[in-house]
């Protein structure tokens, strides 16, 4: 027999805690707006959960930039060196090379990390024939770790994340450390800008679409940045000359750290948080991004199994606690995309995923329920990020606003974008037309653009 999951009241009751109607979303929007103002005001900045760091990037690239720039992109285990050639009419040529950061460097002294980056840069430049006397290339440094910026080319690391623990870097100016390593090797390069990945994404999109005013990342983590009026940035310590604007790196993943989102958090969110390496931090991020979404799905599956609502009558054989289903992190976020790609009743992808999880003969009902769980979890994530984008778009309040987006969750999930847009249509003010654009060349290109603009004004 077959049964539609929506018709099962008990399952619906479990999933009800994940549902967000427009009223709840409007509450979240109001809370975010308050937190944004708190982050921007010197009196409340210290205790605000959304830090709203000014980036010192004041202009978007306008497509007239030309020349050659280098960029470094450090944000995970892979490290990329890029040569970006900007040609007339917004044409861009990219050459890049990926280098591995060995574990010994990730855990060793900071000086060695920056020496390693300089070595990779030199290696790349030799191959590309860029080591020449009399030429000094500007360089943009995408460094996706939390930093308090003190200038375009000056930023202090506030803490390491993503498995890095290099000693002697927290509290230091990372641009200084990089430049010292570059100068030690006599490389003809000047680091002129440090760039967060959200800012790089905004810039890369703005190069093609001048209405771009927001950069969004939906990958391992989530974060956003946007162009703010300087008069609204109480923490601003730079000049008030034209253009009276600056890009704000929101660090919005920390929204909810002050318990502001408790009314929409579920027991699954609490469990994900408690078992993480940073409990009670990055609360918003843990409800949304790639590092956590699959785990939320896994916890719901286990809960339904416990209540005898899933894999009914087939519990024999599922008692093997070494299977991925019973292992923390065992349900990857990419599986959510795979499961949701199934259409119709065959559930070929879902069956494959469940087999990978250690479940041998799922029924039609089981597959339908698993897909239903995935849809609810990813839809909540899309609605939350969409509602928070709507706050920024309404705040910018221009007739056309484009959002540059990057990250594997947004890129590969079959309906994340559609779900975001659907909910944003109700929440964005009617006088504004918005557009979500996938950033094609990523933040490395953006960093290069920022570097070339900075170099021009130096």
Q: Which residues bind ligand ADP (CB under 6 A)?
A: 75-76, 219-220, 290-291, 332-334, 337, 407-409, 412-413
By C-beta, is 215 or 219 nearer to ligand ADP? 219
CB of 197 to ligand ADP, least distance (A): 7
CB of 196 to ligand ADP, least distance (A): 12
Longest CA–CA separation in the chain, Å: 78
Chain-centroid distance of CA 183 in Å reads 32
For the four alpha carbons of 25, 329, 314 and 360, in that order, the dihedral sign comes to positive
Q: Are strands 154-157 and 222-229 parallel, antiparallel or unpaired?
A: unpaired
Q: Closest residue to ligand ADP, Cβ-based?
A: 219
Residues noted as catalytic: 80, 144, 197
CB of 79 to ligand ADP, least distance (A): 12
- On whether the CB atoms of residues 253 and 221 are closer than 8 A, the answer is yes
Torsion of CA 197, 201, 207, 209, to 10 degrees: -160
By C-beta, is 341 or 363 nearer to ligand ADP? 341
Q: Torsions phi, psi of 224, nearest 5?
A: -145, 155
Burial of 48 (0-12, 13-18, 19+ CB in 10 A): buried
SS in 3 state form for 216-282? Answer: EEECCCEEEEEEEEHHHCCCCCCCCCCCCEEEEECCHHHCCCCCCCCCCCCHHHHHHHHCCCCCCCC
- On whether the CB atoms of residues 432 and 394 are closer than 8 A, the answer is yes
CB of 73 to ligand ADP, least distance (A): 9
Residue environment code for 385-413, b if the CB has 16+ CB neighbours within 10 A, otherwise e = bbbbbbbbbbbbeeeebbbbbbbebbeeb
CB of 235 to ligand ADP, least distance (A): 27
By C-beta, is 76 or 330 nearer to ligand ADP? 76
Separation of alpha carbons 325 and 333, rounded Å: 13
By C-beta, is 140 or 219 nearer to ligand ADP? 219
By C-beta, is 235 or 408 nearer to ligand ADP? 408
By C-beta, is 96 or 394 nearer to ligand ADP? 96
CB of 285 to ligand ADP, least distance (A): 11
Residue partners of 9: CB distance under 8 A and separation at least 6: none
By C-beta, is 41 or 408 nearer to ligand ADP? 408
- On whether the CB atoms of residues 272 and 281 are closer than 8 A, the answer is no
CB of 139 to ligand ADP, least distance (A): 20
């Amino acid at each position: 027999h077959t049964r539609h999951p929506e018709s099962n009241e008990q399952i619906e009751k479990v999933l009800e805690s994940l549902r967000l109607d427009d009223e709840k979303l409007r509450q979240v929007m109001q809370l975010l707006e308050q937190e944004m103002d708190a982050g921007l005001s010197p009196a409340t900045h210290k205790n605000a959960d959304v830090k709203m760091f000014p980036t010192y990037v004041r202009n978007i690239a306008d497509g007239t930039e030309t020349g050659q720039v280098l960029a470094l992109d450090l944000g995970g285990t892979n490290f990329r060196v890029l040569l970006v050639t900007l040609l007339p009419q917004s044409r861009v040529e990219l050459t890049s090379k990926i280098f591995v950061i060995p574990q010994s460097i990730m855990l060793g002294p900071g000086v060695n990390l920056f020496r390693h980056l300089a070595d990779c840069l030199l290696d790349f430049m030799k191959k590309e024939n860029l080591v020449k006397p009399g030429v000094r290339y500007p360089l943009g440094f995408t460094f996706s770790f939390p930093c308090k910026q003190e200038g375009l080319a000056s930023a202090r690391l506030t803490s390491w994340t993503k498995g890095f623990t290099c000693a002697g870097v927290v509290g230091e100016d990372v641009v200084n450390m990089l430049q010292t390593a570059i100068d030690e090797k006599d490389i003809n390069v000047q680091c002129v800008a440090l760039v967060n990945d959200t800012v790089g994404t905004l810039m890369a999109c703005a190069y093609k679409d001048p209405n771009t005013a927001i950069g969004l990342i939906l990958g391992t983590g989530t974060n956003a940045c946007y162009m703010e009026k300087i008069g609204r940035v109480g923490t601003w310590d730079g000049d008030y000359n034209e253009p009276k604007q600056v890009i704000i790196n929101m660090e919005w993943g920390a929204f909810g750290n002050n318990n502001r989102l408790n009314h929409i958090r579920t027991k699954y969110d609490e469990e994900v948080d408690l078992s993480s390496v940073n409990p009670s931090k990055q609360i918003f991020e843990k409800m949304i991004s790639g590092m956590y979404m699959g785990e939320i799905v896994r916890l719901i599956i286990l809960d339904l199994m416990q209540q005898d609502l899933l894999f009914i009558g087939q519990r024999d054989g599922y008692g093997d606690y070494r299977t991925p289903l019973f292992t923390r992190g065992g349900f990857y976020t990419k599986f959510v995309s795979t499961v949701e790609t199934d259409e119709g009743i065959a559930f070929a992808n879902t069956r494959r995923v469940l087999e990978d999880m250690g479940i041998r003969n799922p029924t039609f009902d089981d597959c339908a329920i698993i897909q239903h769980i995935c849809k609810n979890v990813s839809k909540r994530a899309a609605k939350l990020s969409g509602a928070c984008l709507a706050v920024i778009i309404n705040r910018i309040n221009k007739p056309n606003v484009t959002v540059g987006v990057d990250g594997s969750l947004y890129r590969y999930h079959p309906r994340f974008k559609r779900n975001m847009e659907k909910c944003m249509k109700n929440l964005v003010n009617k006088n504004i037309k918005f557009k979500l654009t996938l950033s094609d060349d990523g933040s490395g290109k953006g960093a290069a653009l920022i570097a070339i603009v900075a170099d021009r004004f130096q």
